[in-house]
Amino acid sequence: MLKRLKQFIKNTFIIPRRKARELENVLDSFGLKGAERAAIKADIKKTQAELGFSPIEFMKHHFMDVPPEIRRTFVSDNERIAITDRLNRSENKEIFDNKALTYKTFRQFYKRDQFYGNPNTSLQSLDEFKAFVAKHPRFIAKPLNSAFGKGVRILELDGTPDAFLTQLQQDYPYGYVLEELIRQCKEMASLHPESVNTLRVLTLRFDDHVQIVHPFLRVGRGKSVVDNGMSGGILCTVDPATGVVKNTADERGIHYVEIPETGVKLVGFQIPRWQEALELAKQLAQVIPSNRWTGWDLALTDDGWIMVEGNARAQFGFQIADRTGFRAEIESYMKELNL
């Protein structure tokens, strides 16, 4: 009885209030006021109820300029999760969500040193940490279970190793990974030197081949050390045949011909060693055959492409930059796979 009452309160009061607050925050962030705000607000509510798109999805897809029949060709984030869960076995999710397990599974493709900080401090190895920082006194730190570039920092050993290790345990109570810094090639660094600008190659594994699906490049902005869109980065869709950037947009759906800070042209940018990137992604896709849909983040060094991480529920972010829905294409893939 108490459980049902709690669920009733949650569904009747807590969730609606949370959604209302989210909607107002999105409208505020886009500076909408007056009659325009009221009209878009009503449209967002209707679209959310009918199609399941969140307020921020509505805005970044510019649905205010898109007729209802075209909106239906897009796939929402909620649908994307349901689709990728059908494509992949549930037990694989932990491999990709936990950076330690990802590294263990794909270690040969990382080509750089790592140190893992376990939430259980008794399992910490001061000697291993000393060995890591002696070799890499400047490194990047990431929460063990995180997304969207949250909590990622470039650090440098300050003070004694044991004191520094204690501080890391306090800063990352749920665990962390320290990585040797990736030194990207000059062509990729020219886009935004503060961040490693990664290529997201989406793969769909069939029984007899691996399909490359809408690859895109991510480029950092400002002083950010990550290229993720949630941190202000720019998403650039890429022609899979040539490796040339086609379209661009940030998480607000704003298009860029060039990078504002540097003036480097994005549209038309040729990604170096393109075929090598695709071959690496196809090779990675075969490591866990039961994971059909994966997004591979790759970085290009002077020695070639390396793996940054994998994503089992990789987003359909290319819809934002291309302003084209993915529904018909993904439905054809699901039909071919009998899913």
Q: Six-digit token pair at 249? A: 């947009």
- Quickly state the pLDDT bin for 220 (edges 50, 70, 90): confident
CB atoms closer than 10 angstroms to residue 106:
18
pLDDT at residue 40 above 90? yes
Average pLDDT, the chain: 89
CA distance 124 to 169: 9
Q: How many helices (H) and strands (E) does the chain have?
A: 14, 10
Instruction: Compute the C-alpha angle 101/219/267, nearest 5°.
Output: 135
What CA–CA distance (Å, rounded) separates 172 from 170?
6
State the DSSP string of 111-130: -S-EEEE-SSGGG--HHHHH
Structural domains in the chain?
Answer: 2-72 (no CATH), 89-104+184-336 (3.30.470.20), 113-180 (3.30.1490.20)
At 168-192, the pLDDT tens digits run 888 888 888 898 999 999 999 999 9
Structure-block tokens of residue 114? 């790592």
pTM: 0.87
Dihedrals φ, ψ of 218, to 5°?
Answer: -120, 130
% of the chain with per-residue pLDDT over 70:
89
Q: In what order do the strands lie in the sheet with 234-238?
A: 245-249, 234-238, 210-219, 199-205, 293-301, 304-311
